[in-house]
Structure 1
Amino acid sequence: MNEGALQLPPCPKPLAAIFARLPSYPPSALLAAALNIGLASKLPEDVRERLLRKRLRIEVRDARITMDFTWTGDRFRALPRQAQTDLTIGATAPDFLRLAQRQEDPDTLFFSRRLTLEGDTELGLVVKNTLDALELPVLDLTRLRETAARRPPWRS
């Protein structure tokens, strides 16, 4: 395990029961903002075209959180919960974190059935291959800590 790796246990069931009752739009908006910061500028043009106006969903299975979003051509945008999506990507919170930190590759998670892709199979392969092709960790906590250490502390 690398120094910047954050370990996350599965979401406790009582907490997941609370999350399941909350509206889905706020987490979707947070996800879209995070994707815009960490991923949008790294998307190849062909992937941008393939994602255009597709209804995408991330399901964090252990936390029972569902986030719907779309690609507008220049950014990710949160959507209210959709009746149908073009692609649903599911995993547990710890597996999504390992994927974001590049501790595990999408193929390993996919073939061990810990990462699921449902819906448009071709779109799912494009997303999985794009995630696999990213060279840097999307969530690099070591760099985040180094950046925070260079900043002056917050003052009251």
Structure 2
Amino acid sequence: MTLINTLVTRVNRRLPAPLRAAPLVVALEAMRRAGWLEPPEALDGRTFSLTVDDMGLEVRFHCRDGQFRMGPFDGAGTDLTLHAGALSYLHLISGDADTDTLFFQRRLSIRGDTALGLEVKYWLDAAPRPDWLGPLARRLTLLFPEPRPA
């Protein structure tokens, strides 16, 4: 575990769920407003959990009226949960890997509503990325080195 993983994990344990969710939801909503990330209708009214396994981070959010919003934080299950490590999410964001590749390498798991999972998969793979996003995500991968084989 790197220093950044340790630090984020410790901070995460002390933060209430809304504060953990805020950075991702604000980023998703900003990208939506900029026209870079338009959620398909199938996401409307659905709840999601994004888990960064190596950091012990879970972010809950939902989509309502085409907008991303935090929560619910009532402890109920979500319609769809994505599990991956930070490095896998960065590869997905940068466009260096797609959901199928990560799924078949067992670096991404999807739990919940299968039809919704497929909708999200197609949406993530097809979503256009701003030119600056790939290089930024690639730089951030330096903070999360690949695990060494045993």
TM-score (norm 2): 0.75
Q: Distance in 2 between matches of 1:10 and 1:134?
A: 32
Aligned twin of 2:38 = 43
- For residue 74 of structure 1, report the CA deviation from its aligned partner: 2.8
Q: Secondary structure at the match of 1:83?
A: coil
Deviations 1:87-107 (A, max 9, x none): 001111111111111111111
From the superposition, tell whether residues 89 and 29 of structure 1 become closer, same or farther in structure 2 (CA, over 3 Å): same
1:54 lines up with 2:49 in the alignment: no
1:126-145 alignment, distance < 5 Å: 126-136=119-129, 140=133, 142=135
* Counterpart contact for 1:35–1:76, Cα < 8 Å: yes
The answer for the alignment partner of 2:143 in structure 1 is: none
| Match in the other structure for 2:114 | 121
> Which residue of structure 2 aligns with residue 150 of structure 1?
none
Paired residues of 1:52 and 1:71 also in contact (CA < 8 A): yes
Quote the residue 2:85 is aligned against: 92
Q: Which string of whole-angstrom CA distances, capped at 9 and with x for unpartnered residues, describes residues 31-53 of structure 1?
A: 11111122464326xx2x21111
Q: Which has the higher helix share?
A: 2
Question: How much has 1:136 moved relative to structure 2?
Answer: 2.4
Contact 1:39 1:138 in 2 (8 A): no
Q: SS at the partner of 2:59?
A: strand
Aligned to 2:63: 71
Report how far residue 63 of structure 1 moved: 0.6
- Runs of 5+ consecutive residues of structure 1 not aligned to the other structure: 1-8, 144-156
Q: Over alpha carbons, which structure has the higher Rg?
A: 1
**SS of aligned partner of 1:118:** strand
* Larger RCO (alpha carbons 8 Å, 6+ apart): 1
Please point out which of 92, 96, 101 is paired with 2:94. Answer: 101
Change (3 A) 1:118 1:29: same
Gaps of 5+ in 2: 137-150
Question: In the comparison of the two structures, how many residue pairs are matched?
Answer: 132
Which stretch of structure 1 is more off in the superposition, 14-23 or 109-118?
Answer: 14-23
**CA-atom RMSD in angstroms:** 2.5
Q: Which runs of 4+ in 1 moved over 4 A?
A: none
TM-score of the superposed pair, with normalisation by structure 1: 0.73
2:140 corresponding residue in structure 1:
none
Per mean C-alpha deviation after superposition, the further-off stretch among 100-109 and 13-22 is 13-22
SS of the residue corresponding to residue 113 of structure 1 reads: coil
